[in-house]
Structure 1
């Protein structure tokens, strides 16, 4: 492919083909046009070395998602009765913070998570999940999977209200929060996302004055830690911190596990590998699944100064989309990147980012996946995908996960 042809290789995330399988487009962009500008002026990087460089560059800053919504909300909510909640809800999301705000929010979340026995919460949630949610002959396993991270989050949150027991609703709210970060979003969709942001924000806000919550409930834990730190965040800002913990706990786990189940169905040898694996092998396999699935496909950085990469100058203050999904399948770093290699020993994937903004929930995400894999493989061995039903993917660019996994119990292994 010559230079003229290379220029024709464009990032095309709005196409149906991309939604079905983004990795074909990403591979072409990575090889032939790895530094390119999108139709709205954004820059997109596809190669591992470039992406890791910017993730670890202390001069680069994150995008201001809350500020973006604050400017857009008068247009989004014009001629409606809705109040603006997208900007309030996203105000203290860690991946969109820099400087002292980022340090404070990160310390709050880290100290909160350290105050819990993570392994106990995960194991108890798994026991409940396996006992109560695998009782249908023809389940949608994508829907079933969405319950698990909800159970884990609720075990920390410890609500007194039944509102937190509607797991389908929690899944919808989480997906709205994820989709609100996307590009090419219509006003109608933004209005729907704002309504869901209002629900989660007001629901959590009410619990800040709920005396029935136990002292170990997440709301009280964060309030206590915030006070110990000199109360740097207001009530509304703490609510925003909890919403990102909620969204982060649900969306990334659902997306990585559903994608993993689909791969199990495609290649049953992976199930046998997991069932026979020891603890070390499980840990290695979990990292490989995180690389391959990459639930968060992109993150954004802004360069205060011009940056030159391979002779191309990206002007100062550009919005740069870093394709984590593409980096995780870069053949310059990973051998056989388009395959799940269960015993991949060298695996410096960027699923949790890199540098100062490395995902604060990575420890919990890894613990969930490592604990889940063996018992889940045992159950999945008793199911098959329902014939004739097409696999659908969630519509979205920043996050990627399977929308449905309609399955049937095998006659031999089913009860």
Structure 2
């Protein structure tokens, strides 16, 4: 460790939310397996995280059960608790057959759509919306693009406004973060209930090819009869994951590209094979999901540390994706990097169910989006604002201005 003192992970280290990677590098280099004061563990090395992600004996932390235990305290002054029921079918927090069934239905439903057509329409719509603007927020551009995609994917009526879907998605996504105040949980709960009203108005029979209808019919195919509440829970995680993760991934990728004219040229000049390589490097370098959690079903030896059965383990994907033992010059965005064994989508049985959609979005849309945005520059990189969140890294605003040509 080169004489360095062991660094203890602390997401409230000054500057962490703007750039977590310096602190994570110190943790990985000096103290890659850490036990916290509450008994949970955090792993920072790629190999350690990869092994636990693929371990058949590790299970995910079940968010719905967590809320079931916490709801009496959150709503001790009254209310209509729905956090546990709202997250009851979130695939990334389920284990065993229940996880396999929900995941199978979601993945198969996504693959029913003609994505190239949906994505082309979404790019055209968002570019028309921002055409002629002298300046705008890159995050708004990306969020509007994703809104156009999910409107088509989930058959959302036109009166389901952009602002409404954006706020809904952002609030229920916050249910996954650490150290959420009780009052914020109550607001999140209200948004779950509001979302139910929105999605309950999409009758399964109204569009037999729509996503909600597919969830029901595909469930029947595998012998699972999902209740209306089950379908609403799957709809909520589908909208949230498609909106928040895609918006965050795209906005951070575009921020890096637009900050370097050579990257713009590289993207626009890439053929189909190279663009896929570029996309994987962008996922590695800018992945929004910073951590994922596993619970050990039996004692696990990691390095020189024995992690006991039923321990909660935070796997730092952000650190893993910058591990110099796996990636040469890990803190550089190298669009031609190949191979690229990043963990942006996790690994193993719980690899992200939206991986297919995320990759298709970037492969089909990155070039036409960059071609439109090449006429703009980042107004001031030092003024880019990041959300104060731990599990997901999110840009709150990054202003672009019209490029001035000499």
TM-score interval, normalised by the smaller of the two chains: over 0.9
CA drift at 1:387: 4.2
- The correspondence of residues 187-266 of structure 1 with structure 2, limited to 5 A, is 187-208=182-203, 213-266=206-259
The change in CA–CA distance for 1:101 and 1:405 in structure 2 (over 3 A counts) is: same
Query: Gapped runs of 5+ residues in structure 2?
Result: none
Q: 2:136 & 2:259 partners in 1: Cα distance?
A: 18
The change in CA–CA distance for 1:388 and 1:93 in structure 2 (over 3 A counts) is: closer
Partner in structure 2 of residue 398 of structure 1: 391
RMSD of equivalent CA atoms:
1.9
Partner in structure 1 of residue 341 of structure 2: 348
SS in 2 for 1:320: strand
The change in CA–CA distance for 1:170 and 1:135 in structure 2 (over 3 A counts) is: farther
CA drift at 1:361: 1.4
TM-score where L is the length of structure 1: 0.93
2:49 matched to 1:51?
A: yes
Partner in structure 2 of residue 124 of structure 1: 121
Partner in structure 2 of residue 277 of structure 1: 270
Residues 298, 324 of structure 1: 8 Å contact kept: yes
Partner in structure 1 of residue 379 of structure 2: 386
Partner in structure 1 of residue 173 of structure 2: 178
SS in 1 for 2:334: coil
Query: What per-residue deviation string (whole Å, max 9, x for no partner) do you get for residues 82-125 of structure 1?
Result: 31122111111111111110111011112211221122222222
Query: Gapped runs of 5+ residues in structure 1?
Result: none
SS in 1 for 2:395: coil
Partner in structure 2 of residue 11 of structure 1: 9
Query: What per-residue deviation string (whole Å, max 9, x for no partner) do you get for residues 3-49 of structure 1?
Result: 8821xx11111344211111111111111100102233221000000
Residues 216, 226 of structure 2: 8 Å contact kept: no
Q: 2:321 & 2:4 partners in 1: Cα distance?
A: 27
CA drift at 1:289: 0.1
TM-score where L is the length of structure 2: 0.95
SS in 1 for 2:314: strand
Query: What per-residue deviation string (whole Å, max 9, x for no partner) do you get for residues 126-184 of structure 1?
Result: 2222222344222111111111122111102113361x2x2123222222222211111
Partner in structure 1 of residue 71 of structure 2: 73
Q: 2:263 & 2:139 partners in 1: Cα distance?
A: 19
Q: 2:398 & 2:4 partners in 1: Cα distance?
A: 42
Partner in structure 2 of residue 21 of structure 1: 19
**2:164 aligned to which of 159, 164, 169:** 169
Partner in structure 2 of residue 95 of structure 1: 92
Partner in structure 2 of residue 142 of structure 1: 139
Partner in structure 2 of residue 317 of structure 1: 310
SS in 2 for 1:384: strand
2:370 matched to 1:377?
A: yes
Q: 2:76 & 2:17 partners in 1: Cα distance?
A: 31
SS in 1 for 2:386: coil
- Total equivalences in the alignment: 406
* Large movers: runs of 4+ above 4 Å: 1-4
CA drift at 1:216: 1.5
Partner in structure 1 of residue 357 of structure 2: 364
CA drift at 1:65: 0.3
Query: What per-residue deviation string (whole Å, max 9, x for no partner) do you get for residues 243-288 of structure 1?
Result: 1111111111111111112212332210011111111111100000
Deviates more, 1:199-208 or 1:346-355: 199-208
Residues 123, 368 of structure 2: 8 Å contact kept: no
Partner in structure 1 of residue 34 of structure 2: 36
SS in 1 for 2:136: coil
